[in-house]
Each structure stands twice: as structure tokens, then as C-alpha cells.
Structure 1
């Protein structure tokens, strides 16, 4: 896919590739992921160094707000006592994905193409992340049910008997829809920013600023939805028969 304007070319599916041992690595995605990870780690270290029981600073207040949001969602969904690990997982997911998504607002463009694109606009990252979570929530479910076989039996019982095998399709849909929802929204936002960047500088600033504010809102919403759906999938995998009723 390409768009031509004033001699510039935009190819949103193009990445800086490195070939090693027969494998292809998207170098730009790797760098952007590392930068987003460093942002999360640095913010965490700052909060830890300046944490106080008194009046919190802005960074601590932001982290406490996200922690409370994650804890409330886990408590309402499955219970913190049942899955205490899910609170830091949900919180880390939200902050990491938000950092990835918001890389798109940086004013770094060359020839109408962002120098640093959000790594969540690369399907390779979002599918890898979702596959990790997919394995994790089934492992957590198997552990709570006393084995993967018992978890499968419990899951099948939750369906109308003739349609019980459809739970396999349901799990595949969870695995595919979770990353594609995030990827599609962030990828589309990147395309719009790239198109607007083709405008002359004296014109770009107004629509560019407006779109980037909108893009930040979309990035925030998608990070929240990803966290929310992850908690819901952990609940579905870990829920016991008596808890279902």
C-alpha cells in the first residue's frame, strides 16, 4: 500500500529489516519496543525513589491511579485473592501499551514517514504479546482447576451441550481479536499522521496537532481495553463452577 504526494512515498507496511540466521527482524519495531519498555522502567524507578505516604507527586499519583484502576477491575472480575498476580500484570500491560501507542505523537517525520512508529502498529509485536497472555491465562486456569483436562471439562460444561466444541473457536477468536483490535487502531492512526505530514509545514501544524490529540485518546482507550479484555479472559479461564453461579 502506498500513497504518493509531492514526490513522497508512504508504505506503512515497510520496516527496517535485519536478516540473521534465516530470520527477519523488524529493527524499528524492536527499537521502539525497547524505548517504550525503558520509559515504563524509568517511570517505575522514579516513583520508587520518590514514593511518599504524604502528598504524592504527579508521577506517583498517576501510578497509584492506574494501580487502583487495575485492582478494582481484577476485584470486580475474579477477586484479588484469587488472582493477586493479575493486578501487576494488568497494570504493566496498560502502562507498556500506552507508552507504545503514544510514541506516535512524537513530531519525528522524514519525507512524510514517521521515524519512530509505535511498535503496536506492527502485527508481529501484538500477536507475540497476545500469544504470551493466551498461554498464561490457560496455565493459570489449569493450575486453579487442578490440571488442563479439568479446565477443559469445566469450560465445555459452560456451553450448551451440542455446541460445546465451539469453545475451541471461541478461544481462537480471543487469541486473534485481542491483538488485531489494538493493531488496527494504532496502525490506522499512523497512516493518518503520515498523510498529514505530507502537507507543508505551515499547514501541517493545525490538523497535525488536532489529530495527534485524538490519536492520544485512541491510544489511551486501546490500552485500557487491552487490559480489560485480558482480565476478562483470565477470569473465564480461572473461574470455578460454583463461582459461575
Structure 2
């Protein structure tokens, strides 16, 4: 390699800051309003989840179960234990919802296990030069999921108490009073109810986003190290991150079930 080629190669190589900024940049639409990578990766993973569980249901047998059936049944038993211990009302929706949340969030979190440069490098051959592969490291996505949970909380509450009962609870809890004091405390109760309603999805969103964003950033920093240091530090971190990925999916699912259980209880 000539001196000119070496200088040119060094000039073209991204700096550490440019490398980090590139991997933290989203693939967006022409209007720069939608993170296309988050949308498509999460949608594809959702379809994979549905396809695997549909396949398992089609192949399920009453005899000796296969590996796929054992895996699906183990996941369903885990989720059903949480639902049965936390949700005491009757609902045909809560168990499928909990299973969907746990599996979908786990799959999105698990995208962190892929080598940092693998998918961006492959897609660069077809003209896609920006890609973030962990949807839950995008705060827009975690807020979107949490907003869906908030709508479920409102829907479950209205179904259990009726529209009038839910509206009455907004004005009478947590400070129950009678007569004139009930009127005085109604705005205070309403403010507290709104804070509680908004705090639940906000905490869900930020907890998941913070953990997954930190994990993604750490993997990017490890990728900047020499190859031997990547194996030395990356291996233990991947093993530890398996626990983080699973725990965050479980926490998101369990808190959703708890919040929905509180929504159907009368105060």
C-alpha cells in the first residue's frame, strides 16, 4: 500500500464518535418523522412470534410433545403463573395479552445479541446505510407500547365498573369524602388519578428503554475495541445480558398484568 492509499484509507475510516453516532442513527422516511427500522424490525419479530406459536398449536399432540411444544408450554406456564397470582378477575384477554407482551418484548430485546455490524453491513449492500436493530432501545417504540397499556387500563376499568363508575372513581378516589368536601376534593382526586394513570405507562416505557439503550450502547463501545478485547469483554456481557433481556421482558409483562388488575378493582 502506498503512502497516498494509506492516508486515503485513514481519512475514510470513521472515528470512534462517528462510529457511535452512525450506529445510534435511525433509518427514517423522507419526511424524517418515522423510524422505519424500529417499525419494520418490530413488525417482523411480531410475525415471527405469531408464526412460531401458530405452528406449535398446529403440531400440538396429547402424546409425547416435541421440543417446540415443550418450549411454548413452558412459556405459557410461566406467564399463567404470573396472571393467576396477580390478576384475580375473570378475563379471556389477559393471558393472551401477557404472553404476547412477554414474547414480543423478549424478541425485540434479544436483537441485542446480534453482532453490532452484522445487519447494517448486510443491508448496506442494498443501499440501506443506517439501521438500529433493537426496537426497545427506541424510546418512541417503548412509549407506543406503554400508551397501548394505558388504553388497556382505561378499557379494563370501564368494562369492570362501567363508564359512570369509572368517572365517579376519578373524582372520589383516593380521598373519599361526602357532601361539600366531596365537591372540594373532586379536582384534587382527579389530578391524583391523572398522575397515577400517566405515571404507570411512563415508568414502563422509561425502564425498558433505559436498560436496552444502555445495553446497545455498551455493545457498540465493545465493538470499538481490538478483536481480542471484544471476545474477552463481549462474552461475559452477552451472558449477563441474557438475564437483562429476559428480566426486562418479564417486568414489562408482570407490571402490565398488575396495572390491569388494579384497574378492575373497585376503590
Shared fold per TM-score greater than 0.5:
yes
State the TM bucket, normalised to the shorter chain.
Answer: 0.7 to 0.9
Displacement of 1:176 after TM fit? Answer: 0.8
Q: Which residue of 1 aligns with 2:4?
A: none
Query: Which structure: larger Rg?
Result: 2
Deviation of residue 116 (structure 1)?
4.8
Q: Normalized against structure 2, the TM-score is what?
A: 0.79
How far apart in 1 are the matches of 2:24 and 2:221? 14
Which residue among 212, 216, 220 is the counterpart of 2:246? 220
Counterpart Cα distance in 1 of 2:169 and 2:18: 56
Does residue 1:145 correspond to 2:145, yes or no? no
Match for residue 19 of structure 2 among 9, 29, 51: 9
Matched, 1:96 2:104: yes
Structure with the larger helix share: 2
Which of the residues 206, 215, 219 maps onto 1:193?
219
Per-residue deviation, 1:221: 0.1
C-alpha distance in 2, partners of 1:105/1:9? 19
CA displacement 1:213-233 (0-9 Å, x = unmatched): 211210100000000110011
Cα distance between partner residues in 2 of 1:146 and 1:115: 45
CA deviation after TM superposition for structure 1 residue 206, in Å: 2.5
Aligned twin of 2:175 = 160
The TM-score, its normalising length taken from structure 1, stands at 0.85
Segments of 5+ residues of structure 2 without an aligned counterpart are 1-13, 122-128, 177-184
Unaligned runs of 5+ in 1: none
Q: CA separation of 1:76/1:158 partners in 2, compared to 1, >3 Å: closer, same or farther?
A: farther
Q: Distance in 2 between matches of 1:106 and 1:114?
A: 16
1:1-245 alignment, distance < 5 Å: 5=16, 9-11=19-21, 13-20=24-31, 24-79=33-88, 82-109=90-117, 116-147=132-163, 149-154=164-169, 157-161=172-176, 164=189, 165-241=191-267
On the 8 A contact 1:109/1:115 being kept in 2, the answer is no
Q: Which moved more, 1:156-165 or 1:106-115?
A: 106-115
What SS does the corresponding residue of 1:42 show, helix, strand or coil?
helix
Worse-matched range after superposition: 36-45 or 190-199: 36-45
Relative to total residues, which structure has the larger strand share, 1 or 2? 1
Q: Residues of 2 paired with 1:210 and 1:55: CA distance?
A: 36
**RMSD of aligned residue pairs (Cα, Å):** 2.6
